[in-house]
């Protein structure tokens, strides 16, 4: 991909009214654009990151036997009345009437819709278990959107739902999800703290939250310096209490971003909506459900919060929008060798399955370097006269700042070593 043919509107200055580093860098690196408070467009570079995270999630979901589908975001309120959640979630629902005066809402979550769907197809225990998921836009009329895409009114979520005949089956699927979630966040370059949580408005018994401690966030995690005990906490009781587990260490608090939340729902929805199956013993029973959410767009913010320096973003390789950036330093008179090498490296690396961005703009070297640091592509190849006079090309690792001066014929090999040859997931 040529930069000159790609829409990457970088900003030199930090936009006003941005507190979170991730928010600032999302805007400066040209990943997102705000339409109104809590509502963001994803620009080409941001969309690439989003899709790579989605692909990681898809792999992990598919690996545990979950099937992807796509549910509507336009819901009749009548459906929500079946569970009474039209009242419970009234404050976050975006409601309106369609042209036939029918009360509608934009889906803030999808338990009711999926239960309605499964109800129409599942009659027998022989058809269970079923695990379904989607990656879709959710709408929540947040009283106060903040931290850019961390709390938005329109955001992208992966939500999965499991349907089992008994609690044992639910526990099994729950464990599989738990493991898959650990894999997803690890592959995204995030260290998560997993907490037992309150199931709140979702209902059910067992629930875990996947949190990433960061400098911003809306939740608090306390941890014990002595035994490593970790738990969620409210602001008031967070600091300075002795550890409830080992009684020795003191708890220290840190704010965190909630990225995932899984629930053993039980029969709350299946009972309310009449989603039953005929069990082996000839009795009608409500399907046992679980639900599992990941804030996909929020994952992007968390990754940036944890992977940046004063110059910009440092993408973990697995989620980077491009694998390699080639940065030719051209004068006004085009240097044929620089151009030829640029084309050759582009072709060679692309043939290896790498996504390559070429900064072919007629900009000064300094500007290209700064933009490269800002958008944070893991590997940068700089082709310029200075090193070329010695037959060398510079390869730089964005994360470690390590610089290799490679023979111009060895670039493909060196880059392959750095990226682990074909590092694309698909």
Partner RNA sequence: CGGAGCGUAGCGCAGUUGGCUAGCGCACUUGUAUGGGGUACAAGAGGUCGUGAGUUCAAGUCUCACCGCUCCGACCA
Q: Rounded to the nearest whole angstrom, what is the least distance from the CB of residue 122 to RNA in the complex? A: 24
Q: Which is nearer to RNA, 8 or 243 (CB)?
A: 8
Give per-residue burial for 265-292: e unless 16+ CB within 10 Å, then b.
bbbbbbbbbebbbeeeeeeebbbbbbbb
Q: In the window 88-117, what residues touch RNA (CB under 7 A)?
A: 91-92, 108-109
Q: In the window 278-307, what residues touch RNA (CB under 7 A)?
A: 293, 295
Which two structure tokens, joined as six digits, stand for 306? 């944890």
- Contacts with RNA by CB under 7 A: the residue count is 71
Closest CA to 352 of 361, 364, 344: 344
The one among 126, 241, 247, 386 contacting RNA by CB under 7 A: 386
The one among 142, 348, 397, 399 contacting RNA by CB under 7 A: 142
Q: Rounded to the nearest whole angstrom, what is the least distance from the CB of residue 222 to RNA in the complex? A: 16
329 sits near RNA (criterion: CB under 7 A): yes
The one among 365, 402, 421, 424 contacting RNA by CB under 7 A: 365
237 sits near RNA (criterion: CB under 7 A): no
Distance CA 409, CA 411 (A): 6
Question: From the CB of residue 204, how many other CB atoms can be counted at a distance below 10 Å?
Answer: 19
Cα-Cα end-to-end distance for the chain: 18
Distance CA 183, CA 301 (A): 18
Contact 377, 357 (CB under 8 A): yes
40 sits near RNA (criterion: CB under 7 A): no
409 sits near RNA (criterion: CB under 7 A): no
Q: Name residues whose C-beta falls within 8 Å of residue 397's C-beta, 6 or more positions apart in sequence.
A: 378, 379, 403, 418
157 sits near RNA (criterion: CB under 7 A): yes
3-state secondary structure 253-319: EEEEEEEEEEEEEECHHHHHHCCEEECCCCCEEECEEEEEEEEHHHHHHHHHHHCEECCEECCCHHH
Which two structure tokens, joined as six digits, stand for 82? 């079946």
The one among 30, 31, 38, 114 contacting RNA by CB under 7 A: 38
Contacting range for RNA; rule: CB under 7 A; set: 176-184, 244-252, 389-397, 413-421:
389-397
Distance CA 311, CA 406 (A): 25
Q: What is the largest CA-CA distance in the chain?
A: 83
> Which DSSP state fits 4?
G
19 sits near RNA (criterion: CB under 7 A): yes
17 sits near RNA (criterion: CB under 7 A): yes
Q: Which is nearer to RNA, 224 or 301 (CB)?
A: 301
325 sits near RNA (criterion: CB under 7 A): no
Q: Rounded to the nearest whole angstrom, what is the least distance from the CB of residue 284 to RNA in the complex? A: 28
Question: From the CB of residue 84, how many other CB atoms can be counted at a distance below 10 Å?
Answer: 10
Q: Is 421 left (phi over 0), alpha (psi -120 to 50) or beta?
A: left
Q: What is the CA radius of gyration of the chain?
A: 25
Q: Nearest 5°: CA angle at 65, between 59 and 71? A: 80
Q: Name residues whose C-beta falls within 8 Å of residue 237's C-beta, 6 or more positions apart in sequence.
A: none
5 sits near RNA (criterion: CB under 7 A): no
Q: Rounded to the nearest whole angstrom, what is the least distance from the CB of residue 365 to RNA in the complex? A: 3
Q: Which is nearer to RNA, 201 or 425 (CB)?
A: 201
Residue whose pair of structure tokens reads 């995030």 in the numeric block = 190
Q: Name residues whose C-beta falls within 8 Å of residue 340's C-beta, 6 or more positions apart in sequence.
A: none
The one among 1, 26, 45, 145 contacting RNA by CB under 7 A: 145
Q: Which is nearer to RNA, 77 or 94 (CB)?
A: 94
At 188 the three-state DSSP class reads coil
Contacting range for RNA; rule: CB under 7 A; set: 135-143, 170-178, 271-279, 413-421:
135-143
Q: Which is nearer to RNA, 144 or 168 (CB)?
A: 144
The one among 155, 185, 277, 322 contacting RNA by CB under 7 A: 155
140 sits near RNA (criterion: CB under 7 A): yes
425 sits near RNA (criterion: CB under 7 A): no
The one among 8, 21, 26, 34 contacting RNA by CB under 7 A: 34
86 sits near RNA (criterion: CB under 7 A): no
Q: Rounded to the nearest whole angstrom, what is the least distance from the CB of residue 162 to RNA in the complex? A: 15
- Give the x/- contact pattern for RNA in 195-214, rule: CB under 7 A: ----xxxx----x-------
């Amino acid at each position: 991909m040529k930069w000159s043919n790609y829409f990457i509107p970088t900003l030199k200055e930090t936009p006003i009214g941005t507190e979170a580093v991730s928010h600032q860098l999302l805007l400066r690196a040209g990943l997102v654009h705000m339409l109104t408070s809590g509502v963001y467009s994803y620009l080409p570079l941001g969309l690439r990151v989003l899709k790579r995270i989605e692909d990681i999630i898809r792999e992990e979901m598919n690996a545990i036997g979950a099937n992807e589908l796509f549910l509507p975001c336009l819901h009749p309120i009548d459906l929500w009345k079946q569970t009474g959640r039209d009242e419970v979630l009234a404050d976050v629902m975006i409601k309106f009437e369609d042209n036939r005066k029918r009360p509608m809402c934009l889906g803030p979550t999808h338990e009711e819709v999926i239960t309605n769907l499964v109800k129409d197809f599942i009659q027998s225990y022989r058809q269970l278990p079923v695990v379904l998921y989607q990656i879709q836009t959710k709408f929540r009329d947040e009283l106060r959107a903040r931290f850019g895409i961390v709390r938005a009114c329109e955001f992208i979520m992966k939500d999965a739902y499991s349907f089992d005949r008994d609690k044992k089956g639910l526990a099994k699927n729950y464990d599989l999800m738990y493991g898959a979630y650990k894999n997803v966040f690890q592959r995204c370059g995030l260290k998560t703290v997993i907490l037992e949580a309150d199931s709140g408005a979702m209902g059910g018994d067992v629930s875990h939250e996947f949190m990433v401690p960061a400098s911003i966030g809306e939740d608090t995690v306390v941890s014990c310096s002595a035994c490593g005990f970790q738990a969620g906490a409210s602001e008031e009781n967070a600091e300075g209490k002795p550890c409830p587990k080992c009684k020795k260490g003191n708890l220290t608090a840190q704010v965190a971003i909630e990225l995932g939340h899984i629930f053993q729902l039980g029969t709350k929805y299946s009972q309310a909506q009449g989603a039953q199956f005929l069990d082996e013993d000839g009795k009608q029973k409500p399907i046992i459900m679980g639900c599992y959410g990941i804030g996909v767009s929020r994952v992007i913010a968390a990754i940036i919060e944890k992977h940046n320096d004063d110059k910009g973003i440092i993408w973990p390789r697995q989620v980077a929008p491009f694998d390699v950036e080639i940065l030719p330093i051209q004068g006004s008179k085009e240097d044929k060798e620089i151009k030829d090498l640029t084309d050759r490296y582009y072709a060679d690396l692309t043939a290896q399955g790498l996504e390559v961005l070429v900064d072919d703009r007629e900009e000064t070297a300094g500007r290209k370097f700064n933009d490269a640091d800002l958008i944070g592509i893991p590997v940068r190849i700089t082709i310029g006269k200075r090193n070329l006079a010695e037959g060398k090309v510079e390869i730089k690792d964005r994360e470690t700042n390590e610089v290799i001066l490679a023979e111009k014929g060895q670039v493909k090999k060196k880059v392959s070593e750095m990226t682990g040859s074909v590092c694309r997931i698909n």
